[in-house]
Amino acid sequence: MKIYFDNAATTPLHPEVIKEVSQLMASTYGNPSSSHQFGRHAKTLVEQARKSIAKHLKASANELIFTAGGTEADNLILQNAVNNLGVKRIITSAIEHHAVLNMVAALKIKKNIEVHFVKLTPQGAVDLEDLEQLLKDMSVKTLVSLMYINNEISNLLPLKMVANLCQTYGAYFHSDTVQAIGHYAIDLEEIPIDFLVASAHKFHGPKGVGFAFIRKKFGIKPLIIGGAQEHGTRAGTENVHSIAGMALALDLALENLDKDKKYVENLKSHFINQLKKLDKNITFNGLSNDLKQSSYVTLNVRFPKNIPMMLFKLDLKGIAVSGGSACQSGSDKGSHVLQAILSAAEAQKSSVRFSFSKFNTLAEVDFALLALKELLD
């Protein structure tokens, strides 16, 4: 049996998305910037996708910029905040995705901006009192960058509360929502987020395509210089079939959201309950075992001891999981998230991130439990 429990890293494409993208690759090959009918048709598909995605978010279509994914979108927003909006200070956390942390570190060096890391609880939740104090002490234009759902420990940020705090103190608010789009409804009319990002492959869409949401009151300058595509904000011919596939994937994700969430949540809940029976000393990182304070997709499990080559051993049994962010798979430094919230002794124990989707089954969860029992014996 081959089991894929690494959906926080990337998801399998939805069969309907595969069909749509394949058809478009064969039939729609015009350049969206061309004035002939082939180009106009391609352009229409891009703009229809933009309107469809914007409608789901209750945003304006002209507030969305298509990118190659979440990392590019985060970079676009952070660099523009400093270079064009006059941001001199960034408040973030030590457990953000490296698309944010590494960009912030680069801006600190290149642009001499202030960087403040908000305090975290022992479970990795943002200390809202400390965040408010940092905002109260604001003397220069400030951007807050905090992810909605942590990609490793799945903690949920109280998004509206943080957005309102930023609005109260006049700070910009950017949230990496890559783990949330397609899994949670976000109403941008209700929540005053200034910037957010998405990546299609996190919700059963194609890899290599995503978008940035940027409130229309902010002028954005491109990182990639060339043509005037994406309303002058991102040069380069649009990835038409992938953009259309992303829009369809989001349609499919949100139209069955409640049903799919309940189904996946049941898989996660069953896994938690059975793990506790398997070994009473198994614990969970962050708030990932709290079904109300974490994403229903991800569970980060800490085992009672270090099990050498645990991920490899699970892979040999046909079970695909992760020890942290897939973007760090080439790093030998371990998870920066777990290092930030665990003691040195606890961080040495084996931790595994299991992440589920609507395409997983209860039988797969039970198979994984048997495999884990063998490794723990």
Considering the domain architecture, whether residues 158 and 296 belong to the same structural domain is answered as no
Name which of 36-45, 330-339, 350-359 the model is least confident about.
330-339
Domain containing residue 296: 3-11+256-376
3-state secondary structure the chain: CCEECECCCCCCCCHHHHHHHHHHHHHCCCCCCCCCHHHHHHHHHHHHHHHHHHHHHCCCHHHEEEECCHHHHHHHHHHHHHHCCCCCEEEECCCCCHHHHHHHHHHHHHHCCEEEECCECCCCCECHHHHHHHHHCCCCCEEEECCCECCCCCEECCHHHHHHHHHHHCCEEEEECCCCECCECCCCCCCCCCEEEEEHHHCCCCCCCEEEEECCCCCCCCCCCCCCHHHHCCCCCCCHHHHHHHHHHHHHHHHCHHHHHHHHHHHHHHHHHHHHHHCCCCEECCCCCCCCCECCCEEEEECCCCCCCHHHHHHHCCEECECCCHHHCCCCCCCHHHHHHCCHHHHCCCEEEEECCCCCCHHHHHHHHHHHHHHHC
- Domain endpoint, select from 240, 255, 270: 255
Name which of 78-92, 324-338, 363-377 the model is least confident about.
324-338
Name which of 16-25, 162-171, 198-207, 228-237 the model is least confident about.
228-237
The CATH number of residue 285's host domain is 3.90.1150.10
Considering the domain architecture, whether residues 48 and 133 belong to the same structural domain is answered as yes
Considering the domain architecture, whether residues 219 and 290 belong to the same structural domain is answered as no
Q: What was the pLDDT predicted at 231?
A: 86
Considering the domain architecture, whether residues 237 and 263 belong to the same structural domain is answered as no
Per-residue confidence at 18, pLDDT binned at 50, 70, 90? very high
User: How many whole angstroms from its chain centre is CA 97?
Assistant: 8
Give this prediction's pTM.
0.95
Q: Is the pLDDT of residue 359 over 90?
A: yes
Q: What was the pLDDT predicted at 171?
A: 97
- The total domain count for the chain is 2
- Domain endpoint, select from 226, 255, 284: 255
- In the block, which residue shows the tokens 């309107």? 51
Considering the domain architecture, whether residues 80 and 203 belong to the same structural domain is answered as yes
Considering the domain architecture, whether residues 319 and 339 belong to the same structural domain is answered as yes
Considering the domain architecture, whether residues 216 and 245 belong to the same structural domain is answered as yes
The predicted model gives 160-183 an average pLDDT of: 98
Give pLDDT tens digits for 274-322.
999 999 999 999 999 999 999 999 999 999 999 999 999 999 999 999 9
Q: What was the pLDDT predicted at 324?
A: 62
Considering the domain architecture, whether residues 43 and 178 belong to the same structural domain is answered as yes
The CATH number of residue 129's host domain is 3.40.640.10
Q: What was the pLDDT predicted at 330?
A: 44
Q: Is the pLDDT of residue 41 over 50?
A: yes
Percent of the chain with pLDDT over 90: 92
Q: What was the pLDDT predicted at 103?
A: 98
- Domain endpoint, select from 255, 276, 291: 255
Q: Is the pLDDT of residue 253 over 90?
A: yes
Per-residue confidence at 331, pLDDT binned at 50, 70, 90? very low
Q: What was the pLDDT predicted at 329?
A: 47
Considering the domain architecture, whether residues 206 and 272 belong to the same structural domain is answered as no
Q: Is the pLDDT of residue 152 over 60?
A: yes
Q: What was the pLDDT predicted at 334?
A: 83
Considering the domain architecture, whether residues 235 and 308 belong to the same structural domain is answered as no
Q: Among all residues, which ones are annotated catalytic?
A: 327
The predicted model gives 11-26 an average pLDDT of: 97
Own/partner pairs, 306-312, CB within 8 angstroms, 24+ separation? 306/348, 306/349, 306/350, 307/350, 307/375, 307/376, 310/350, 310/352, 310/375, 311/352
Considering the domain architecture, whether residues 346 and 225 belong to the same structural domain is answered as no
Considering the domain architecture, whether residues 344 and 230 belong to the same structural domain is answered as no
CA geometry: angle 135, 287, 163, nearest 5 deg: 30
Per-residue confidence at 332, pLDDT binned at 50, 70, 90? low
Can you read off the two tokens belonging to residue 68? 């190659």
Q: Is the pLDDT of residue 247 over 50?
A: yes
The predicted model gives 105-118 an average pLDDT of: 97
The predicted model gives 326-341 an average pLDDT of: 72
Q: Is the pLDDT of residue 96 over 60?
A: yes
